[in-house]
Amino acid sequence: MVKKIAQRKVTFHIDWRLCFIADSGATEGRDILSLIKRAVDGGATLIQLRGKIWSTREFLEFGIKIRKMLEVKNVPLIINDRVDIALACGAAGVHLGQEDMPLPCARKILGETKLIGISVNTPEEAVAADKEGADYVGAGPVFATSSKKVLEPFLGLDGLQKIRAKVRIPILAIGGITVANAPAVISAGADGVAVISAIAAAGNPKKAATEIIESIGEVRK
């Protein structure tokens, strides 16, 4: 589903169905630009760039290259954690964790035309993010995941439904999402799914993205 972000002055529409989180530390030895291209060619509708192993300059250089590549395909780029990188490379916005820069401060820096997403694990965190003006929330981890060390409890589908009941802004579900469980996640109230290994670790990243998109489409028919 394509939704316009009403509370922000953005000039584009966001298709939330499939966000590929391109993690600098989880590319399975592949070139990250090539991996992102394959994911988008397969149907990924949003890219989040995570560069925890890069220097600031490396992160910025990759951000600029990827943003230029995605502009041609009309796919937004979101930068993970780094407000400065998001601003400098001209990304569509930034995704922040609970321990990152507070949302109001990020908004002052980025202005009203950029997207800001917040990671949440509880309905209370989701409500707080909504009240502060988040454009969307990344809810998770929904299921067990090997992408990073998880300290928060798993939401499960019930937890995701509870968050959906509390906020009206878009929800990207994250954590252990696969082509097999993506339909159930969408049925539980998510607007889209965010994945890392489901695409990055796939033998055919383009095909993996296409299969996830098609599985979500079946729910929305």
Q: What is the pLDDT of residues 153-212, one digit of tens each?
A: 899 999 999 999 999 999 999 999 999 999 999 999 999 999 999 999 999 999 999 999
Q: How many CB atoms lie within 10 A of CB 123?
A: 18
Domain layout of the chain by residue ranges:
2-220
pLDDT band at residue 220 using 50, 70 and 90 as cut-offs: low
* pLDDT (0 to 100) of residue 1: 46
SS3 67: helix
* Segment holding 173, helix H or strand E: strand 171-174
Q: What is the pLDDT of residues 7-25, one digit of tens each?
A: 544 445 899 999 999 998 8
CATH of 2-220, one of 3.50.30.30, 1.10.3720.10, 3.20.20.70, 3.40.50.300: 3.20.20.70
Q: How far apart are CA 64 and CA 77, in angstroms?
A: 10
pLDDT band at residue 138 using 50, 70 and 90 as cut-offs: very high
* pLDDT (0 to 100) of residue 4: 44
Q: Can you list the alpha helix ranges (DSSP code H) found in the chain?
A: 32-41, 56-73, 83-89, 103-110, 123-132, 156-166, 182-187, 197-200, 205-220
State the catalytic residues.
50, 119, 148
pTM of the full structure: 0.92
| Torsion of the alpha carbons at 146, 152, 157 and 161, rounded to the nearest 10 | -140
* pLDDT (0 to 100) of residue 62: 97
Q: How far apart are CA 52 and CA 24, in angstroms?
A: 7
Q: How far apart are CA 123 and CA 189, in angstroms?
A: 13
SS3 139: strand
